[in-house]
Structure 1
Amino acid sequence: MSRKPGNSCLHILAEGADSILLASLLPSILEISSAELESNSTRGYSPLGTAIVSGSIEAARILLRYGADPYNSRPKRRAHALHCCALYPSKMAVELAKELLSQDPQCLEARDDEGRTPLHCAAFREHNEMVELLIREGSKLITYDWEGYTPLGAAVSARSIRAVKQICNALRRCHLPHTAW
């Protein structure tokens, strides 16, 4: 019997930032069903995705430590945890992004269901600290999503002036064309 999407105990604990309660209940929950760690909330996030969009860095760390799949943070969108960090600007998101990148450098170029990389998402949301981090870590500047946009195109389409400037400066430093789409 498959469970319909809904907010599980893990989603509620991850969202509420009660990391002590989460850490104490997680082993018992996983003993009953390890699938809970990857379950889909009513908003379409796994518990890890819920922790990230709620700004609960400790909850995110705990979930990762217990085996949450960072490539399943938003299951229906096939989004990596780094996409969630890029889409929900905060200091916590940047801090967690650094940890994710140190554990799995390949996630820098992870694609969601629309072909967007984390840099596309950060540029679109004008998450400037994240744009800077992703560029510094070596994110591809000329890469296309399924609609044909590059990260520069995503920034232009969102009217994200500072992100446009950041990406244009990086393109200039790398002697690359200013291709938006």
Structure 2
Amino acid sequence: MTEGFYGVEVASGQQVKPKIPEEHALRLTQLALPANASAAISLIVSFQGKQFTIATLDPKKNLFQMSTDLVFTEPATLTATGAGCVHVTGYIQPVGNDMDSLNGQDLSDDMDEDDDDNDDEDVAQRKRKTANAAHADDDEIDEDDDDERKLMMMMMVMMMMMMMMMMMTMMMMMVTVIWP
């Protein structure tokens, strides 16, 4: 399993233990009942020895789906109780600040250099590269700062949108409770 979409159907009484690749996180974003659901079902997450009810979906109360923002980097178990099943979706994403791995670059190429670092020619070559790179790095730093700012802005917009969706979901749940 690599980066990208994650989806699983958890039937009542079934335990699902998602496989989370090393240096990745599982982000669960949506819980939904299948089209033929007729009874309530709860999704429970077992994490670090404790159980937490994440949601109870009930077609009789018009609760067919729910947005979430749960992130797991350690093993967790998903269990459903009630009748039927619940669809759990989200995605696998890398964690950490390793931008090279996000860009698909392989850092092992840098490690494969010869061990003859003491050669005068290698030292002179590195000095020339360093001098030329220092000049170019100033431009790259400015571009990197712009890219980081754009990324941060996009992340902030996405978080605000997710918060609005969660607030709308909570409002719909409150309306359902107040006016059944």
Indicate the TM-score class for this superposition, using the shorter chain for normalisation: under 0.3
TM-score (norm 1): 0.24
Greater gyration radius: 2
TM-score of the aligned structures, taking structure 2 as reference length: 0.25
Q: Higher helix proportion, which one?
A: 1
More RCO (CA 8 Å, sep 6+): 2
